[in-house]
């Protein structure tokens, strides 16, 4: 399964938080799953880590991403920006557009791991929590 991972989902996974949904946890633990990290998620991780809003440092989080062969970052480029849904705030729109672009490029199904209600209600991409 191809899973685009949003910021909170990734933080909660790395920090073993109980806030992480069971189905999202199962997808993140799946050895055969591909975990796609939008570059906006990296930027958000850096921001919240530098502000001390999470236990981990940005360096620790980045190392975990780099060490996990299932994880790959996906660039924010003009193709992604052109697919941003206008109905969502900018960060959520970029994450959804990343999922849409990944699906388009690979021709494979993609699910977005998120608890974000605005994304879930928009039904722009398949979500899992």
**For 8-24, how does the pLDDT look when each residue is reduced to its tens digit (9 = 90+)?**
999 999 999 999 999 99
Tell me which residue of 52, 38, 12 sits closest to 125, measured CA to CA: 38
DSSP 87: T
Confidence of residue 92 (pLDDT cuts 50, 70, 90): very high
Residue 19 lies in domain: 2-128
Overall number of domains in the chain: 1
pLDDT at 112: 98
> Alpha-carbon distance 69 to 93, whole Å?
26
Distance (Å, rounded) from C-alpha 89 to C-alpha 70? 28
Predicted confidence at residue 33, as pLDDT, reads 98
Mean pLDDT of all residues belonging to the chain = 97
The pLDDT of residue 10 is 97
Alpha-carbon span 39 to 43, nearest angstrom: 6
CATH number for the domain that contains residue 42: 3.40.50.1010
């Amino acid at each position: 399964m191809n899973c685009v991972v949003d910021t909170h989902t990734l933080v909660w996974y790395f920090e073993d938080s109980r806030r992480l949904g069971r189905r999202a946890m199962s997808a993140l633990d799946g050895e055969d799953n591909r975990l796609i990290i939008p570059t906006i998620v990296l930027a958000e991780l850096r921001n919240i880590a530098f502000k001390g809003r999470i236990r981990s440092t940005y360096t620790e989080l980045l190392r975990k991403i780099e060490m996990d062969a299932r994880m790959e970052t996906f660039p924010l480029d003009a193709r992604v920006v052109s697919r941003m849904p206008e109905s969502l705030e900018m960060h959520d729109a970029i994450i959804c557009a990343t999922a849409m672009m990944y699906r388009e490029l690979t021709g494979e199904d993609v699910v977005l791991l998120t608890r974000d209600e605005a994304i879930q209600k928009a039904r722009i991409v398949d979500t899992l929590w």
